[in-house]
Amino acid sequence: MKLLQLFIITSVLTFETSALKGFNKRAWDYGTSDITNYFKNDKDESTKSSEEQQTKESPIPEEPKLSPCSSTNPLTGGFFDLSELSSINQENIVAWSAKGHDYNKNFTLGVCSSPLKPNVEVNNNFDGHFAKYQINSSEVGGFYVDEFGDKFSIGNFNSTPVFRGRKLTLSYHNGSYCPNGIDKKSTLLSFICDREILSKATVSFVGVLHDCDYFFEVRTVHACPTAQKADNLALIWIFLFM
Ligand SMILES: *[C@@H]1O[C@H](CO)[C@@H](O)[C@H](O)[C@H]1NC(C)=O
Ligand SMILES: *[C@@H]1O[C@H](CO)[C@@H](O)[C@H](O)[C@H]1NC(C)=O
Ligand SMILES: *[C@@H]1O[C@H](CO)[C@@H](O)[C@H](O)[C@H]1NC(C)=O
C-alpha cells in the first residue's frame, strides 16, 4: 500500500509538472516579471520589455518587482500570492461576500481589484447631503448596500499586501464619507493561511469602528506560502486517483 501510494504520488507529481509546465513557467516566474510583462510576453515571447533591458544594462541590479497582489514576508522570506482571489487575469469580476450579522448590512469585497463593474453608481453622501467628489466604481475595493439599495464604498482597492509581523494585510482607503463628514471609510483585510477550507476563501466581517473603519478576516489557502501550492494540488490528485 505504501509503495502504491509512493508510486501514485510520484506519477501525480510528474504528471502535474508536465501538464502545468506552460502555466508554471509564468506562475513561478515571480519577481522577474510583473503583470505588464505577462501580457507583453503573451503577444511576443521574443520581445523583452524595455524595463527588463534597462535592468540588464544598469550596473546596479534593481530590486525585483513583485507582481500585483503578492508579497514577501520579510521575516521568513516566504512568497505569498493573493492574485488568485482577485479579478487580475480573470475574465469575470471576482467578488467575495461577508455577512454583516448585527451590522445589518452585508458586504461585497474584492481582493486587489474591484467587485463592481465600471460606472456603477456608488453613494458618497453623508447626513442626507451629496458629497462633492464622485466615487469611481472601478476603483472601489468593497461596498455594502443600505436599506434603500444604495451602494456605499468602504474603500478603494489596493494591490499591495503588506506584512505586519506575521499577519498578511491589505488596506483600502478613500471610501464614502464617514458619519463625521470628514473622514472617508476604510477597510482592513487580514489574511489567514487555511488549508482546510474547501472554498478558495471565506471572508468574515470582524467589526466596524465609528461606522467608518471596517475589519475583515480572510481565510484562504492563498495566504499560505506558494512554495507549498504544488503539494496541495498533488493531494487533490491523489484523492481523485484513490
Ligand atoms: C444578508 O445576507 C443574509 C444571508 O445571505 C440575508 O438573510 C440577509 O437578509 C442579508 N441582509 C441584508 C441587510 O441584506
Ligand atoms: C475610473 O477608474 C479607472 C481605473 O483607475 C479609470 O481607468 C477610469 O478612467 C476612471 N473613470 C472615471 C470616470 O474617472
Ligand atoms: C485619498 O484621496 C485623496 C484626494 O483624492 C488623496 O490625496 C489621497 O492620497 C488618497 N489617499 C489614499 C490612501 O489613497
CA nearest ligand 3 atom 10, residue: 174
Tell me which residues of the chain have a pLDDT lower than 70: 1-64, 126-132, 227-242
Burial of 143 (0-12, 13-18, 19+ CB in 10 A): buried
Which pLDDT value is given to residue 227?
57
CA nearest ligand 3 atom 8, residue: 174
CA nearest ligand 1 atom 8, residue: 106
Residue 30: which residues within 8 A CB-CB, separation 6 or more? 66, 67, 70, 79, 81, 226
What is the distance in A from the centroid of ligand 1 to the CA of 97?
A: 11
Three-class secondary structure of residue 217 per DSSP: strand
CA nearest ligand 2 atom 14, residue: 136
Which pLDDT value is given to residue 22?
39
Q: Is any ligand 2 atom within 6 A of the Cβ of residue 139?
A: yes
Q: How many residues does the chain have?
A: 242
Distance between first and last Cα of the chain: 11
Q: Is any ligand 3 atom within 6 A of the Cβ of residue 171?
A: no
What is the distance in A from the centroid of ligand 3 to the CA of 126?
A: 18
Q: What is the CB < 6 Å shell around ligand 1?
A: 99, 104-106
Q: Is any ligand 2 atom within 6 A of the Cβ of residue 138?
A: yes
CA nearest ligand 3 atom 7, residue: 174
Q: Say what the pTM is.
A: 0.70
Mutate to test the pocket of ligand 2, among 139, 153, 158 (most ligand atoms within 8 A of CB): 139
Dihedral sign (CA 61, 67, 73, 79): negative
Q: Is any ligand 2 atom within 6 A of the Cβ of residue 136?
A: yes
Structural contact between residues 195 and 221, judged by C-beta atoms closer than 8 angstroms: yes
Which pLDDT value is given to residue 51?
44
What is the residue whose three cell numbers read 524595455? 50
What is the distance in A from the centroid of ligand 1 to the CA of 189?
A: 21
Structural contact between residues 135 and 166, judged by C-beta atoms closer than 8 angstroms: no
What is the distance in A from the centroid of ligand 2 to the CA of 185?
A: 20
Pairing of strands 79-81, 96-98: unpaired
